């Protein structure tokens, strides 16, 4: 059995916390280190797809999920990695799949078809705990949780962890939380420092807070306007440095847990 790529779902049901920014820049930083990376845009808002100015041709991720079209037919190269693009049609996949058995295993099935082609697959989730996020969690080995260092965002984390724990308990025992990533951190802001203390208490030693924190930077929207990752747009800047540090931390943090594991063995099929 081929050892499948390490699959990381970038998830948080809270909107606008930096899931897409994290996904594309972690992808770019991992690609810079020679990893073969696939980014899956599993969000009907298709922010990652728009960021790179990709206009998906048919078939799209919708067809992968609904019709079982090969994922390999959907991916396009962007910068140093591959993107499985989405468009607004993806939204209707939920209704299409609602009564179909195994509807939450469709992405997993798609990824099995590209086994061996990628070292890391990053799945950008929508801001919902819906069928798309379920597909991401059941396809993933790990969950990366970007969060902003503000109380409402931190207070919303238990819902996500509760969902992950439910998935672990009932279908996917080896799913693990890779870590919580603080995005838009400003260490000079008292509120952020205080919120960080609250975040540590909220994680209560059960979930890992990543050492890397991503600062706020005008280069993020600037890069998006230039249709590039920040890592590519401003390679010498502090944000690129932070994403490289994140890539290092992700590579260091996952090797032991996923070494020698095949995904077929990891999930009980219902
Ligand atoms: N570190 C940062 N510095 C400055 N702006 C940022 C940073 N991270 C994200 N942003 C901006 O915040 C907005 C939301 O970011 P992003 O789209 O990555 O969040 P998201 O969690 O994917 O949102 P959604 O829940 O809608 O999918 C974007 O406009 C992005 O440019
Ligand atoms: Mg997003």
Question: What is the reported pLDDT for 253?
Answer: 82
Rounded average pLDDT over 147-162? 94
The residues lining ligand 1, judged by C-beta closer than 6 Å to any ligand atom, are: 15-21, 43, 45, 47, 127, 183-184, 214, 216-217, 220-221, 224
Nearest 5°: CA angle at 60, between 58 and 65? 135
Instruction: Please give the backbone phi and psi of residue 103, each rounded to the nearest 5 degrees, phi first.
Output: -65, -25
pLDDT band of 263, cuts 50, 70, 90 = very low
Question: What is the reported pLDDT for 266?
Answer: 39
Q: What is the pTM of this model?
A: 0.93
Q: Which of 14, 16, 223 to mutate to test the pocket of ligand 1 (most atoms within 8 A of CB)?
A: 16
Whether the predicted pLDDT of 267 surpasses 60: no
Distance between Cα 265 and ligand 1 center (Å)? 35
Q: Which residues are within 8 A (CB) of 57 and not within 5 positions of it... i.e. 6 or more apart?
A: none
First CA to last CA across the chain, in angstroms?
Answer: 21
SS3 13: coil
SS3 132: helix
Question: What is the reported pLDDT for 254?
Answer: 55
Rounded average pLDDT over 228-243? 98
Whole-angstrom Cα distance, residue 144 to residue 155?
17
- 136: closest CA among 7, 44, 23? 7
**Digit-coded pLDDT (tens) for 162-207:** 999 999 999 999 999 999 999 999 988 999 999 999 999 999 889 9
Q: Which of 20, 23, 25, 234 to mutate to test the pocket of ligand 1 (most atoms within 8 A of CB)?
A: 20
Instruction: Please give the backbone phi and psi of residue 217, each rounded to the nearest 5 degrees, phi first.
Output: -155, 140
Measured from the Cα of 214, ligand 1's closest atom is 1
**Digit-coded pLDDT (tens) for 61-102:** 999 999 999 999 999 999 999 999 999 999 999 999 999 999
Report which bound ligand comes closest to the CA of 13: 1
- Kindly report the number of other CB atoms within 10 A of residue 245's CB atom: 16
């Amino acid at each position: 059995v081929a050892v499948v790529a390490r699959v990381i779902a970038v998830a948080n049901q809270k909107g606008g916390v930096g899931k897409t920014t994290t996904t594309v820049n972690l992808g770019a930083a991992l690609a810079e280190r020679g990893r073969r990376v696939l980014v899956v845009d599993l969000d009907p808002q298709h922010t990652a797809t728009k960021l790179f100015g990709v206009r998906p041709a048919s078939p799209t991720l919708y067809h992968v999920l609904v019709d079982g079209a090969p994922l390999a037919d959907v991916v396009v190269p962007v910068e140093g990695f591959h993107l499985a693009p989405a468009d607004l049609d993806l939204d209707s996949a939920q209704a299409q799949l609602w009564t179909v058995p195994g509807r939450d295993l469709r992405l997993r099935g798609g990824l099995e078809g590209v086994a061996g082609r990628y070292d890391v697959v990053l799945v950008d989730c929508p801001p919902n705990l819906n069928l798309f996020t379920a597909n991401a969690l059941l396809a993933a080995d790990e969950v990366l949780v970007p969060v902003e260092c503000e109380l409402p965002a931190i207070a919303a984390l238990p819902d996500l962890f509760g969902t992950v724990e439910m998935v672990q308990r009932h279908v996917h025992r080896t799913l693990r939380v890779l870590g919580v990533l603080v995005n838009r951190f400003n260490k000079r802001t008292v509120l952020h420092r205080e919120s960080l203390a609250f975040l540590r208490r909220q994680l209560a030693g059960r979930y890992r807070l990543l050492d890397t924190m991503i600062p706020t930077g005008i280069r993020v929207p600037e890069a998006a306007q230039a249709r590039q990752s920040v890592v590519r747009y401003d390679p010498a800047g502090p944000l690129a440095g932070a994403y490289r540090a994140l890539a290092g931390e992700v590579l260091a943090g996952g090797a032991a847990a996923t070494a020698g594991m095949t995904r077929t063995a990891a999930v009980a099929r219902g």
